[in-house]
Homo-oligomer: A and B are copies of this chain.
């Protein structure tokens, strides 16, 4: 390349900080290896042959490309580039997640993401298989192969259709809806969560009449809105569905709390995962204050 630019053996050798003879030899060897004459030499001048001209242009492109690859490799290593497979539960407030993604897009455009709405069980298994890089899900997580950070703990809320008599009741205790049909998360789909709710009801002294089961938060709220029953949901869900015809009654007295966490594999070595989780924790902290 340098000789192709200089078209002068001595000057090219100078630029390469070597002496002229080794350069002459290098070029000869290259031509021998390709089986193609690249330079037209005479005592008075050195010129590129057509093949040499072509090779010079192409190799210049290769070098440019190689440099950009090296830059990107460095970015990936620093967690400034990469692709993330992210899972989240439907009940998690998507507010923080959306902010994180906007921030990433603005400051670290090298990081791209794929998002999957998945329940906690599915997320843990996909994380284990390496199909998922990060999961935003609901505690407790039994496995010990994950690094887990709490995003927030919150009370549950009783979810009732708008105009339900209980909102005028003075005590607002869970027992008051013991006789009403309940809408739960499907048991085999999210057993931990199912059990949580069941225990709450039992402690309140009744076994709920489960009229319907659903597999995501949106369906539950819709069913309640249509008057098909009541449900118990994390209180933050009230932020997600403000404009629907439902009411939320925070269950402060039960003492039960639910915890949303972010998790990734202990043996994770994708730098972008750390970038993502750090940003998530930072923005989450800001929102919590």
Decide if B76 touches A66 in the complex (CB within 8 Å).
no
A119 at the interface (CB under 8 A from B): no
A95 at the interface (CB under 8 A from B): no
Q: Smallest CB–CB gap between A101 and chain B, Å? A: 19
Contacts of A40 in B (CB 8 A): 269
Q: Smallest CB–CB gap between A19 and chain B, Å? A: 25
- Decide: A34 near B70, CB < 8 A? Known: A49-B269, A50-B270: yes
- A52-90 contacts to B, CB under 8 A, are 54-55, 58-59, 62, 65-66, 69-70, 72-74, 76-77, 82
Q: How many copies does the complex hold?
A: 2
Decide if A77 touches B36 in the complex (CB within 8 Å).
yes
Decide if B54 touches A62 in the complex (CB within 8 Å).
no
Give Cα distance in the complex from A54 to B34, angstroms.
Answer: 29
Q: Smallest CB–CB gap between A68 and chain B, Å? A: 9
Binary contact readout A22-52 vs B (1 if CB under 8 angstroms, 0 otherwise): 0000000000001111001000000001110
Contacts of A36 in B (CB 8 A): 73-74, 76-77
- Decide: A74 near B271, CB < 8 A? Known: A62-B65, A65-B62, A66-B62: no
A124 at the interface (CB under 8 A from B): no
Among B54, B55, B272, the residue within 8 A (CB) of A50 is B272
Give Cα distance in the complex from A182 to B49, angstroms.
Answer: 48
Give Cα distance in the complex from A187 to B40, angstroms.
Answer: 40
Q: Smallest CB–CB gap between A82 and chain B, Å? A: 6
Decide if B73 touches A54 in the complex (CB within 8 Å).
yes
Contacts of A35 in B (CB 8 A): 74, 77
Contacts of A271 in B (CB 8 A): 50-51
Instruction: Specify the chain B residue showing the minimal Cβ separation from A37.
Output: B77
Most B C-beta atoms less than 10 A away, residue of A55, A74, A77: A77
Instruction: Specify the chain B residue showing the minimal Cβ separation from A59.
Output: B69
Contacts of A269 in B (CB 8 A): 40, 49-50
Q: Smallest CB–CB gap between A48 and chain B, Å? A: 10
Give Cα distance in the complex from A35 to B70, angstroms.
Answer: 10
Apart from the given pairs A51-B74, A62-B62, 9 other A-B contacts in the complex at a CB distance below 8 Å: A34-B70, A34-B74, A36-B74, A36-B76, A40-B269, A49-B77, A50-B82, A51-B271, A54-B73
Interface, chain A (partner B; CB < 8 A): 34-37, 40, 49-51, 54-55, 58-59, 62, 65-66, 69-70, 72-74, 76-77, 82, 269-272
| Sampled A-B contacts (15; CB under 8 Å) | A34-B70, A34-B73, A34-B74, A35-B74, A36-B73, A37-B77, A40-B269, A49-B77, A50-B76, A50-B82, A50-B272, A51-B76, A54-B69, A58-B69, A62-B65
